[in-house]
């Protein structure tokens, strides 16, 4: 409202000026009706002057207000600029920190992508291997070999052995009689397993499960016919499945196949149960070695007993020698005592050249003419 007041004043002033100009023009025309009294003209001039002074005062007030407003605006802009600077600096620091963290995360993601790419390549390679029946069999054999080599000593197994019927076994566990050698054959029914995993409805799943059971049962019969040979191998064999998932599926949903494998004397094993079986075989081999060494141990014990008896005899003889030596020492001590006592008697005997010749008797006689054995031993 204050900003409109000067504008209205100016408009009013301009209107009065225009009106005055029009009246003056009419005054210059000789017309009695257009004459304007001098008093009115003076009033108009006074109003115009008053309006000019009022306008000047308003301009001065507006200038002061504008100066104050400009100062407040400048102060506000200065504070705002300072705050904006601080905010921008803080935002820049946060942005830099976020970019640093993002760069680190991108590096981690890039490394993970590299690992994923490598893993994808390995999975693709594994898929290509498993797609080929020969390579798939090799894959199962490699897993079996790694397990056997990890648990058993080298002389307890043999790989790729040709039996008397010209059939080649993947692995032979060399167990002593009456168990005999146990044959292990690795099989992997991948096609039927993939069909079961990709089945979309119950009918397809049932058909795939039936196909999987038929494939496993065929492998069981092949192992029973080829690798159980009377007099050469054990009366049972093992079918190694290099997949815990297939093993779990058989024991969860196809118990009839498992029971038929038991009837055929073929034990289906997974990597986990294969490890337990190999540990049992290692215990059997250790017990067998201990039994083989029993005769040797008994013989060594007999020799040890003989040596102990011989040592006892020698200790007894040595004890006898010690007894004789002790008796001899005692006799020596007795004789030494006699000598010592006779020497003391000689010292006690008074020898004088002017003394009359007397016959020796008593201790002197004993000293010169007596023996050691005539004196009784001291108690």
Condensed to tens digits (0 to 9), the pLDDT of residues 157-174 reads 888 888 888 888 889 998
Whether 228 shows a pLDDT value over 80: the answer reads yes
The pLDDT value given to residue 331: 84
Report pLDDT digits (tens) over 265-282: 999 998 999 899 889 888
Candidates 189, 310, 312; CA nearest to 257 is: 189
Q: Is 308 contained in some domain?
A: no
Q: Which of 198-207, 267-276, 313-322, 352-361 has the lowest mean pLDDT?
A: 352-361
Residue 176 lies in a domain: yes
Across the range 318-330, mean pLDDT stands at 85
Given a cut of 80, whether residue 124 has pLDDT beyond it is: no
Is residue 355 included in any domain, yes or no?
Answer: no
- 53 in any annotated domain: yes
| Predicted local confidence at residue 354, as pLDDT | 53
| 43 lies in the same domain as 170 | no
- Domain boundaries, position 118: 98-131
One domain, residues 152 and 123: no
Same domain, residue pair 109 and 233: no
Q: What is the CATH number of the domain that holds 273?
A: 3.40.1350
- pLDDT for position 378: 45
In the structure, what pLDDT confidence band is assigned to residue 9 with cuts at 50, 70 and 90? low
Domain check: are 31 and 125 in the same one?
A: no
What's the pLDDT score for residue 368?
44
pLDDT mean over 217-235: 88
d(CA 97, CA 113): 24
- Give the mean model confidence (pLDDT) for residues 181-208: 83
Same domain? 160 vs 285: yes
Q: Comparing 26-30, 135-139, 289-293, which segment has the lowest mean pLDDT?
A: 26-30
Residue 64 lies in a domain: yes
Per-residue pLDDT band at 329 (split at 50, 70, 90): confident
Q: What is the pTM of this model?
A: 0.46
| The token pair that represents 158 in the structure block | 């043999």
Check residue 7 and give its pLDDT: 59
> For every residue of the chain, which 3-state class applies, written as one string?
CCCHHHHHHHHHHHHHHHHHHHHHHHHHCCCHHHCCCHHHHHHHHHHHHHHHHHHHHHHHHHHHHHHHHHHHHHHHHHHHHHHHHHHHHHHHHHHHHHHHHHHHHHHHHHHHHHHHHHHHHHHHHHHHHHHCHHHHHHHHHHHHHHHHHHHCCHHHEEEEEECCCCCEEEEEECCCCCCCEEEEEECCCHHHHHHHHHCCCHHHHHHHHHHHHHHHHHHHHHHHHHHCCCCCEEEEEEEECCCHHHHHHHHHHCHHHHHHHHHCCEEEECHHHHHHHHHHHHHHHHHHHHHHCHHHHHHHHHHHHHHHHHHHHHHHHHHHHHHHHHHHHHHHHHHHHHHHHHHHHHHHCCCCCCCCCCCCCCHHHHHHHCCHHHCCCCC
Residues 155 and 245 in one domain: yes
For the chain, what is the domain count? 3
């Amino acid at each position: 409202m204050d900003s409109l007041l000067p504008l209205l004043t100016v408009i009013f002033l301009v209107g009065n000026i225009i009106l005055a100009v029009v009246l003056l023009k009419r005054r210059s025309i000789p017309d009695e009706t257009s004459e304007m009294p001098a008093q009115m003209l003076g009033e108009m001039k006074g109003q115009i002057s008053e309006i000019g002074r009022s306008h000047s005062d308003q301009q001065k007030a507006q200038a002061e207000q504008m100066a104050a407003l400009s100062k407040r605006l400048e102060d506000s802009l200065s504070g705002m600029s300072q705050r904006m600077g601080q905010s921008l600096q803080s935002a820049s620091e946060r942005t830099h920190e976020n970019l640093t963290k993002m760069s680190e995360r991108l590096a981690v993601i890039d490394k993970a992508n590299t690992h994923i790419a490598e893993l994808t390549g390995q999975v693709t390679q594994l898929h290509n291997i498993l797609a080929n029946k020969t390579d798939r069999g090799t894959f199962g054999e490699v897993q079996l070999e790694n397990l056997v080599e990890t648990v058993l000593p080298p002389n307890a197994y043999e790989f790729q052995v040709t039996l008397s019927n010209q059939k080649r076994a993947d692995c032979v566990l060399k167990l002593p009689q009456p168990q005999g050698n146990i044959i292990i054959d690795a099989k992997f029914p991948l096609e039927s397993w993939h069909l079961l995993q990709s089945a979309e409805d119950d009918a397809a799943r049932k058909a795939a499960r039936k196909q999987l059971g038929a494939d496993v049962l065929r492998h069981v019969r092949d192992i029973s016919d080829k690798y159980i040979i009377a007099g050469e191998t054990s009366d049972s064999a093992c079918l190694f499945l290099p997949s815990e998932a297939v093993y779990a599926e058989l024991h969860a949903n196809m118990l009839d196949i498992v029971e038929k494998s038991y009837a055929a004397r073929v034990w289906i094993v997974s990597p986990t149960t294969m490890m337990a079986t190999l540990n049992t075989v290692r215990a059997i081999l250790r017990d067998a070695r201990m039994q083989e060494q029993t005769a040797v141990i008994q013989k060594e014990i007999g020799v040890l007993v003989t040596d102990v008896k011989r040592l006892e005899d020698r200790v007894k003889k040595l004890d006898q020698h010690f007894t004789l030596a002790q008796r001899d020492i005692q006799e020596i001590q007795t004789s030494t005592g006699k000598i010592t006592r006779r020497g003391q008697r000689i010292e006690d005997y008074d020898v004088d050249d002017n003394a009359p010749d007397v016959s020796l008797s008593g201790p002197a006689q004993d000293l010169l003419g007596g023996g050691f054995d005539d004196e009784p031993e001291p108690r």
